[in-house]
């Protein structure tokens, strides 16, 4: 199985450590020639959904990072009709190298195609509804956001919250430890996308989180 792979370095390394034993990985930079492949994996598609215009010309299956965006929404927005073998995956850092990979599909009729593709690659899909945030990121990032509200209100410090969450819930990491592993940019952007999509207050980004995010990009 030849996989044409593109995306940020950290995500590519996580993907390669998961599937390298069963696949031949061919890295490429978007905009340059795509190597001959059986499946194309774009781990940075969330940030560049317009790439679907280029990928629509390919006949090979596509696995695209889709947490900040809805896969079906992207296809509709760019007028990509009847495109088969397109699957979303949670490619946020630390989510790739898990026993089950959270994945979405635009058309339920293609579930069997997705199952077969994942089996050939050597990953186990956990098919969830095609929505912004999928499931795991939606829940975890909301917890991180609430933790920021607790710090902002002066109720507790970050280390105290991490300790309390691990002791009280048996989570392997506290919310701020998870934030450190994932990266504040992805957490902020997923939460912002969730709020824009749902307008639910629980996803409205805490001011302190937003401030720290802005500081990180300057």
**pLDDT (mean) for 26-55:** 96
- CATH 3.40.50.720-classified regions of the chain: 2-127
pLDDT of residue 171: 86
- CATH 1.10.1040.50-classified regions of the chain: 136-217
Which of 93-97, 155-159, 166-170 bottoms out in mean pLDDT, i.e. has the lowest?
166-170
Mean pLDDT score of the chain, rounded to an integer?
95
Is residue 20 scored above 80 in pLDDT? no
**pLDDT (mean) for 100-118:** 94
Cα 111 from Cα 12, distance rounded (Å): 25
Q: What is the pLDDT of residues 56-91, one digit of tens each?
A: 989 999 999 999 999 999 999 999 987 889 999 999
The CATH classification of domain 2-127, taken from the options 3.40.50.2300, 3.40.50.720, 3.40.50.300, 3.40.50.920: 3.40.50.720
**pLDDT (mean) for 110-116:** 94
DSSP-derived secondary structure letter, 24: E
Three-state DSSP at 58 gives coil
pLDDT of residue 7: 97
pLDDT of residue 144: 97
Phi, psi of 62 (to 5 degrees): -120, 135
pTM for this model (two decimals): 0.94
Count, residues in the chain:
218
Pairing of strands 39-42, 2-6: parallel
Q: From residue 71, give the alpha-carbon distance in Å to each of 45, 89, 107, 120.
A: 10, 10, 10, 22
Q: For domain 136-217, which architecture applies?
A: Orthogonal Bundle (1.10)
What is the phi-psi region of residue 154: left when phi exceeds 0, alpha when psi lies from -120 to 50, beta otherwise? left
Bridge partners of 40? 4, 62
pLDDT of residue 81: 87
pLDDT of residue 169: 86
Residue 100: how many CB atoms within 10 A of its CB?
Answer: 11
Tokens 């912004």 -> residue: 132
Give the tokens for residue 149.
């509200």
Cα 177 from Cα 22, distance rounded (Å): 32
């Amino acid at each position: 199985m030849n996989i044409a792979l593109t995306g940020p370095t950290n995500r590519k390394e996580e993907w390669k450590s998961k599937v390298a034993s069963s696949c031949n990985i061919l890295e490429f930079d978007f905009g340059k020639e795509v190597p001959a492949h059986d499946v194309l994996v774009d781990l940075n598609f969330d940030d560049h959904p317009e790439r679907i215009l280029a990928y629509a010309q390919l006949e090979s299956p596509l696995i695209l990072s889709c947490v900040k965006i809805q896969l079906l929404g992207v296809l509709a927005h760019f007028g990509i009709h009847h495109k088969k073998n397109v699957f979303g995956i949670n490619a946020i850092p630390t989510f790739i190298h898990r026993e089950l990979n959270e994945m979405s599909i635009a058309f339920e009729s293609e579930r069997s195609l997705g199952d077969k593709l994942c089996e050939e690659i050597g990953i186990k899909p956990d098919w969830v509804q095609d929505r912004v945030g999928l499931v795991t990121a939606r829940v975890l990032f909301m917890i991180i956001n609430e933790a920021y509200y607790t710090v902002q209100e002066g109720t507790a410090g970050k280390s105290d919250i991490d300790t309390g969450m691990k002791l009280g819930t048996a989570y392997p990491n506290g919310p701020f430890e998870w934030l450190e592993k994932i990266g504040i940019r992805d957490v902020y952007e997923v939460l912002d996308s969730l709020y824009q999509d749902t307008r639910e207050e629980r996803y409205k980004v805490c001011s302190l989180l937003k401030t720290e995010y802005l500081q990180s990009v300057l």
